[in-house]
Structure 1
């Protein structure tokens, strides 16, 4: 199946360009609005084009959510990862809800990201580039444009930035004003994230405090406590040697970058800005944008839009991706072969990487590209359980990560990162775990996701220790 085979609609030209009329195009044929001449997959059927145009115009004059200097900082960090000198952790919610954009909700997600990052750094000795699926991941691609319940057919829920999950005609009607609400909630979330990451919450001295009680009592939580003890001893040793850890900003604060799937071109175009100093266009809705497995058509609207932006660009690489198709995508998105530009996120499914991944690695390498290769072990391992819940087995997730590392070891390439859907909450959405294994009959206890199942905090830590062990083994060879 091609990337545009499901829920495909042809984009219509509506609304003004999101940038000033005197700003030049990035390339000869590209402009922020050139995607409108292409087929855009996975688009809502907006019922009021005039309302959409009005919202686009409003967004075009809003301040950017992120700045070019921050975006280029991420590109530099990813160039180091591509060279084998770091590791990418991209993690967060499956589909953010507007209602979860509270201080407590954001703190909970940040807490587990910090814990996983510390475990990866502790286990591997490599710097970890932290990119959240946060402050903008409000939209979701879907396998069908509609769903039927009790004989009634309605548009499918596409995330809070498009419609609401309740199964009513009013709730499922795409509402362009939700794009504005998405911008507003992203801005609020970024404000909280910046306050937390720069204001002391991310201080390594707080490593013990990040461990919640329900996590601490698990085997993974106890192993984390041991790692936090080691970190505390190291900080005390530095103090005893006359080095004040409080004076080292790298130990007091972190840089958390944001990312989301660039699913809605009208929204992304409206937040595209031209940077005079760099003479480059940037998407300012997030530091990194990615293209999904369903929207990666090299001739499609999503690839066209992101091909002209200066941001790091991710591409989901599913089992239907051919080596030739992936080379074509790399050529469209990274024609200058710039390290830090491309993140190729494989989502192949447990048991399939040994066959599918090597020809993809070779095709990209032979074409001269140097991307970050990351593993998304979540989306290729989703199924509906006997109890009727969409879920994933932690054992399958772990198996795909191990296969990813094994293939890279055999090919002599760097396994550059992982891409996870997780939450800091004590949910029961994925099967498995250590001493507190989640069984099929328990999924309904705290199944809270808006779309796909997420690892809870304990499962996330368990996986992080496994990845840390794999990284240490990889770099000791």
Structure 2
């Protein structure tokens, strides 16, 4: 039976919860809007706008995550560190989709498993920050918290938190999602034609030949199956694709939280898969309070500061009935810390008998700055953390069932190393991120190939020079 045909058994609604109950808890990382009336008017308008996703899409993703929890599929979650309104263009959106589709093709071919595709876009407009303000010279202004809150320019007008940006965030998310759906439904993801996903600037990539051989192999397999079947197999012409973002700005999330006909409970209909960041994962805080009451699958970032007993409390609050497909734990330790901190957390989850999907975010724990203050990440550290994650889960009798990556389909130079061995000098050539460094197309595909090789136990990709 396919995952879409299996039901998620209804359990019960959260007690003493409403979409606004988070407001009774400490809420960190929230914008400080200067005009409460202006905020209220924007939220009333936002709550009246149509939802961006449907409850049946949300529940279908829960079923697929439940499959991944049992080792029947693999989760690929990836996209920009933070979207900007200016990036809501057809070329940038299709390139993001292309790189995720190509990575999933590599993973399906190599792992021999279905891949659950979740994009970090159509709503990833907010970012947590380490400080509320930024100072340059004699001027101190609110920090940039993403386009859904304020502007990146260092001016008083741009940095003022603006509630109208919540409406703009919904609009840009809707435009992005509409275009992605149109591409998917129009055959853009057709496995008969993976050549549609090529990106012009990578035609001379060191990995291009290996990827091309993979495409040809899949094409041969499809043609063989359809010859036996006697007709084209329509299910290969499209794929399921879901969206995700960090549930950070809670007024925005609350305004898009709805009840729907023929379903019990509440759904966040701004995205299929909201996640809770490490800075907002306090079990007694507002973000956990909000997320415990919605029926969406929930992700939680888990870092080296999390203790086993804290994690057990999170499991009890966010998934008290141990429902399948409900909870994904996204660990982000850093290559130099994962062996010290991850095993105890895995054992804590096992001791509770908790149903979770473990995924690895090898990006955020490996951020560093160059001598001139440019944020970057080293591909060798990203790969190293991912390698160790697979080994630790295997040694603990657990399973790593997915990856969570910051990446782009653009020809950026933001992370060091990879197939072209990017250096600090290369960073100046095409560094475009306003927040965190991202893997470019080549580095993303290389990482997918390394995952396959790791799981197959074969040798790593040889570096091209």
TM-score, structure 1 normalization: 0.92
* Contact kept? 2:92, 2:410, Cα under 8 Å: no
Q: How many angstroms apart in 1 are the aligned matches of 2:373 and 2:416?
A: 13
In the alignment, which residue of structure 2 is the partner of 1:408?
393
1:57 aligns with 2:66: no
Aligned pairs for 1:430-469 (under 5 A) are 430-434=415-419, 436-469=420-453
2:457 matched to 1:470? no
Q: Distance in 1 between matches of 2:209 and 2:386?
A: 23
Cα-Cα RMSD: 1.3
Distance 2:81 2:432 in 1: 11
Q: 1:367 matched to which residue of 2?
A: 352
- CA 1:48–1:66 in 2, change beyond 3 Å: closer, same or farther? same
Deviations 1:391-420 (A, max 9, x none): 000110000000000001101111110000
- 1:135-174 paired onto structure 2 within 5 Å: 135-174=122-161
CA contact (8 A) 2:95 2:199 kept: no
Say which of 81, 85, 102 aligns to 2:68: 81
Q: Secondary structure at the match of 1:227?
A: helix
Q: 2: distance between equivalents of 1:164 and 1:270?
A: 22
Counterpart Cα distance in 2 of 1:351 and 1:65 = 39
Q: Secondary structure at the match of 1:343?
A: strand
C-alpha spacing 1:360/1:243, structure 2 compared with 1 (3 Å):
farther
Q: How far off its partner does 1:386 sit?
A: 2.0
The answer to whether residue 354 in structure 2 is matched with residue 336 in structure 1 is no
The secondary structure found in structure 2 opposite 1:50 is: helix
Paired position in structure 2 for 1:389: 374
Indicate the SS of the match to 1:85.
coil
Contact 1:342 1:372 in 2 (8 A): yes
Q: How many residues align?
A: 447
Conserved? CA contact 1:139–1:159, under 8 Å: yes
In structure 2, how many angstroms separate the alpha carbons of the residues matched to 1:376 and 1:203? 28
1:320 paired with 2:305, answer: yes
**Mapping for residues 192-231 of structure 1, pairs under 5 Å:** 192-231=179-218
C-alpha deviations, 1:407-465, integer Å up to 9, x for none? 0110111111000000000000000011x221101101111112100000000001110
Confirm whether residue 38 of structure 1 aligns to residue 25 of structure 2.
Answer: yes
CA-CA distance at 1:218 after TM superposition:
1.6
Matches within 5 A, 1:422-437: 422-434=407-419, 436-437=420-421
- Other structure's SS at 1:131 match: strand
Given that residues 425 and 457 in structure 1 are in contact (C-alpha distance below 8 angstroms), is that contact kept between their aligned partners in structure 2?
A: yes
Asked if 1:297 corresponds to 2:295, the answer is no
Residue 242 of structure 1: how far off its partner (Å): 4.3
* Mapped contact 1:221–1:461 kept (Cα < 8 A): no
Q: Which string of whole-angstrom CA distances, capped at 9 and with x for unpartnered residues, describes residues 106-131 of structure 1? A: 10100000011101111100111001
| Cα distance in 1 between the residues matched to 2:271 and 2:208 | 32
CA distance in 2, matches of 1:244, 1:385: 56
Task: Kindly state the Cα deviation for residue 223 of structure 1 after the two structures are TM-superposed.
Answer: 1.4
**Distance between the aligned counterparts of 1:413 and 1:129, measured in 2?**
19
Choose which of 72, 77, 97 in structure 1 pairs with 2:59: 72
Please state whether the residue corresponding to 2:431 is helix, strand or coil: coil
Which range is displaced more, 153-162 or 384-393?
Answer: 384-393
List alignment gaps of at least 5 residues for structure 2: 1-11, 459-465
Name the SS for the 1:420 alignment partner. Answer: strand
SS at match of 1:40: coil
Q: Match for residue 461 of structure 2? A: none
Who is 1:114 aligned against?
101
Superposition deviation, residue 239 in structure 1: 3.6
Deviation at 1:387, TM superposition (A): 3.5
Which residue of structure 1 aligns with residue 234 of structure 2?
A: 248
Q: Does structure 2 conserve the Cα–Cα contact (< 8 Å) formed by 1:96 and 1:450? A: no
State the 1:236 CA deviation: 2.4
Residue 9 of structure 2 is matched in structure 1 by none
Q: Which residue of 2 aligns with 1:261?
A: 246
Moved over 6 A (4+): none
